Amino acid sequence: MMYVPKQDICTDESLWKFKGRLRFKQYNPTKCACFGVKVYKRQSELNESLFNKGYNIYMDNWYSSRDLFQHLQTRKTNACGTVRTHRENMPPDLHKIKLRKGETVYLCIDSGIFALKNVCMLSTTHSASMKDTKKQDEDGNAIMKPSVVVSYNEGMGGVDCSDQLATTHKFVRKFVK
């Protein structure tokens, strides 16, 4: 029996709460569990067999870079994800752009598209288009989001859902000395 992954593959990391002593324990004040063990996850094994087959890889800013996206594109593998504006080979003035709520700026560089709306996105598969979220604001107007943001949220949903489920599960162990 051979495993064939779905079209969309995502990679992510999470912080598992840990109160004991470890050298590699991480600290992240923005997480519910401030101290813990960082665990790197992916929905599928990312290896040579996935290249040149048109898969879409979703990742967050821990993994993404312009060079990686260009490399994946040469291997006929699409990529989409958030990206840090100060990373190497990113446009130098990208982090200086100020936007008001609801504004979006698209910068097309090589074959990747940056969609900037409070978060910087990099994609080799999306166009500069808006998508209806099927939600309305208080005035009854349809709320629109960049298509790259909507696809990213859908693609990363599986790993983020597993993070939420893992935080609600408590391990209670009593030790006898």
- Please check whether residue 36 is in contact with residue 26, taking contact to mean a CB–CB distance below 8 angstroms: yes
pLDDT in tens, the chain (177 residues): 555 667 777 776 666 666 676 666 666 666 666 666 666 555 445 566 777 887 888 888 877 888 888 888 888 888 888 888 777 777 777 777 787 777 777 777 766 666 565 778 888 888 888 888 888 888 888 888 888 888 888 877 755 555 555 555 555 565 566
Q: 6 CB contacts (<8 Å, ≥6 apart)?
A: none
- The answer to whether 160 and 25 are in contact (CB under 8 A) is no
